[in-house]
A = this chain, B = another copy of it.
Amino acid sequence: MRTRRLHAVPVPAAPAAEPGQETTADEPLWRHLLGARLRRLRTDRGQTLTETAERAGISPQYLSEIERGVKEPSSEMIAAVAGALGVTLLDLTVAVARELSGLRTTAERQLVRNVARVLSLAA
C-alpha cells in the first residue's frame, strides 16, 4: 500500500471552474481502475499471473501488485502488460472511462433517491 509521502499531496484549493463544469472529488484512483481492468482481462483469458507476467517481462509478484492497485506502474509497464494481454492503451482507457461513467451514473441515481427520501420525510 502506498505510504504517506514526505511531500504529501494536499487537497487542491477550489478551482476556478468554468460555469456549468462540475468537480468530483471522490472518484477512484487511476491505478485502482486500471489494475482491476487488467486483472479482469487476464482472468477472462484464463491466464495465470505467471504466464502474463512472463509475457510482459515482469515478475508475477509485481503484476499482482499492479492489478490490486498497490503499485503505480509506469507508462511503459502499462504498455508491456497491455501487450501481454493483447490489448491497447486505447482499450484500457475506454474501459476505465466506461467504468467511471457507470459509477457517476450510479451516484447520480443514488442522489436523486436520497433527495426524494428527504423531501418525503419533510412533508
A→B interface (CB under 8 Å)? 2, 9-13, 15-18, 21, 23-25, 27-33, 45, 47, 54-58, 72, 74-81, 83-90, 93-94, 96-97, 100-101, 104
Contacts and interface: CB of A to CB of B under 8 A. Distances in A.
Contacts of A90: 24, 27, 97, 100-101, 104
Contacts of A84: 12-13, 15
22 contacts: A2-B74, A2-B76, A9-B57, A9-B58, A9-B76, A12-B80, A16-B47, A23-B83, A23-B88, A24-B88, A25-B83, A27-B88, A27-B90, A30-B75, A30-B89, A30-B93, A32-B75, A72-B75, A90-B101, A93-B94, A93-B97, A97-B97
Contacts of A58: 9
Contacts of A33: 89
